[in-house]
Amino acid sequence: MTQHLRAEIDQVAEASIAALRAPSILNTQPWRWRLAGNHAELWADRSRQLDGLDPDGRLLLLSCGTALHHATVALLAAGFAADIARLPDPARPDLVARIRQGQPCPPDNRLYRSIYRRRTDRRPFSDDRPSQAVLDELRAAAERHGVHLHVVRDDQLTAFASAVAHAGDVEHGDARFRDDLLTWTTRTREDRDGVSARSAVPAVRRTIAPRDFELARPAALDPGPGTDRGTVYAVLAVDAEEPADWVAAGEALSDVWLTLTAGGLAASPISEVVEVVAVRVALRRLLGGVGHPAIALRVGVPVDGIDPVPASVRRSGTDTIGPPGQ
Ligand SMILES: Cc1cc2nc3c(=O)[nH]c(=O)nc-3n(C[C@H](O)[C@H](O)[C@H](O)COP(=O)(O)O)c2cc1C
């Protein structure tokens, strides 16, 4: 193997390691990386798909999309563009992407630093509203992936809040949804995945409550003094409902989230509204012509001086990154 090829593999291997920090639905981390020749393959891991919450695998592909974008950010920090073939083989639909080191470019660390600072922050945010300039930046980040970011307008907020509440009620009344929550909130320390009580907040008065994980143990993250009065709710929407659109939505979610983290903001996704089909359809109608909702997100200014949210667990590279065919 030439020195040159070795260096290429090292860069994509490094990128796949950074991508392990990507966010995923219920922290399922439904991906596998395979290092092959001078490129890496990102595979969807169907054994980690949620039967109740995500029977079509939309959120699974969205989660793989966040990992793919994280990898491109890591390559960019090393001074290379990413050369990506998305869903390159129709005969193997779980092969999400093939990624290789592209042209050299000036190293860009801005979003790379956010990979390690980003958290799902479910606490109420402050009274301050994210500025219009930042929201425009987030819209541009989504559009880079052909995905539209729609900020829920004040006159749409009550209907949006009802949609979130209704989706939560439907899910808590359905054994299949509850099974998924139970499985992924009771993982062992060795599993290194799932959602733990350390990242969940107890119920407090607020317009839109984050998902109730029905945890066996009390939610342990102090909600702090935030009010959510300045919080902005946004929906990422796609033009079509194909696997490629969910991957793109995941890349956009990652880009938006790392961008807002770099700008000192915080966020947490709201995916209940797309998990329940009737609510997803109603949300599409409510937003009127922006496309198919892929995921919603609350975005806000963290309360001044508040502690960072603890980092959530991840599986190791040994468990998720390997040679081809395994
Ligand atoms: C597709 C997707 C859907 C998600 N849906 C929700 C959600 O509805 N509610 C929530 O509180 N967090 C949601 N999350 C956040 C994950 O639970 C979180 O990324 C994961 O637990 C890892 O934690 P971290 O983001 O702090 O690293 C979602 C994340 C992704 C990528």
Is 235 strand, coil or helix?
strand
Residue 4 has pLDDT above 70, yes or no: no
pLDDT digits (tens, 9 = 90+) for 234-253: 999 999 999 999 999 999 99
pLDDT mean over 265-287: 97
The pLDDT value given to residue 153: 96
Instruction: Supply the mean pLDDT for the chain.
Output: 95
pLDDT digits (tens, 9 = 90+) for 291-305: 999 999 999 999 999
% the chain with pLDDT above 90: 91
Among 31, 66, 120, 257, say which to mutate for ligand 1: greatest number of ligand atoms within 8 Å of CB.
120
SS (H, E, C) 153-214: CHHHHHHHHHHHHHHHHHHHCCHHHHHHHHHHCCCCCCCCCCCCHHHCCCCCCCCCCCCCCC
Buried b / exposed e over 201-235, threshold 16 CB at 10 Å, is beeeebbbbbbebebeeebebebbebbbebbbbbb
Cα 27 to ligand 1 centre (Å) = 6
Q: Residue 323 — pLDDT band, cuts 50, 70, 90?
A: confident
Q: Residue 193 — pLDDT band, cuts 50, 70, 90?
A: very high
Q: Residue 18 — pLDDT band, cuts 50, 70, 90?
A: very high
Closest CA to 246 of 71, 21, 35, 58: 58
pLDDT mean over 204-208: 92
The dihedral through the CA atoms of 50, 54, 60, 62 has a sign that is negative
What are phi and psi for residue 297, nearest 5 degrees?
-150, 135
The atom of ligand 1 lying closest to the CA of 119 is 26
Enumerate residues lining ligand 1, CB below 6 A: 23-27, 59, 62-63, 66, 119-120, 122, 195, 199, 210-211, 268-272, 295, 312
pLDDT digits (tens, 9 = 90+) for 20-50: 999 999 999 999 999 987 899 999 999 999 9
Cα 105 to ligand 1 centre (Å) = 32
Closest CA to 124 of 253, 231, 1: 231
pLDDT digits (tens, 9 = 90+) for 128-153: 999 999 999 999 999 999 999 999 99
Among 24, 214, 251, say which to mutate for ligand 1: greatest number of ligand atoms within 8 Å of CB.
24
Residues facing 240 on adjacent strands:
none
Residue 5 has pLDDT above 80, yes or no: no
- All structural domains of the chain, each given as residue ranges with its CATH number in brackets, are 3-116 (3.40.109.10), 132-300 (3.40.109.10)
Query: Could you tell me the CA-to-CA distances from 135 to 9, 322, 324 in Å, in that order?
Result: 36, 39, 41
The pLDDT value given to residue 37: 77
What are phi and psi for residue 270, nearest 5 degrees?
-130, 100
Q: Identity (one letter) of the amino acid at 80? A: F
Cα 298 to ligand 1 centre (Å) = 12
Residue 1 has pLDDT above 70, yes or no: no
pLDDT digits (tens, 9 = 90+) for 51-80: 999 999 999 999 999 999 999 999 999 999
What are phi and psi for residue 291, nearest 5 degrees?
120, -165
Cα 86 to ligand 1 centre (Å) = 23
Q: Residue 3 — pLDDT band, cuts 50, 70, 90?
A: low
Cα 44 to ligand 1 centre (Å) = 17
pLDDT mean over 260-275: 98
Is 265 strand, coil or helix?
coil
Cα 177 to ligand 1 centre (Å) = 16
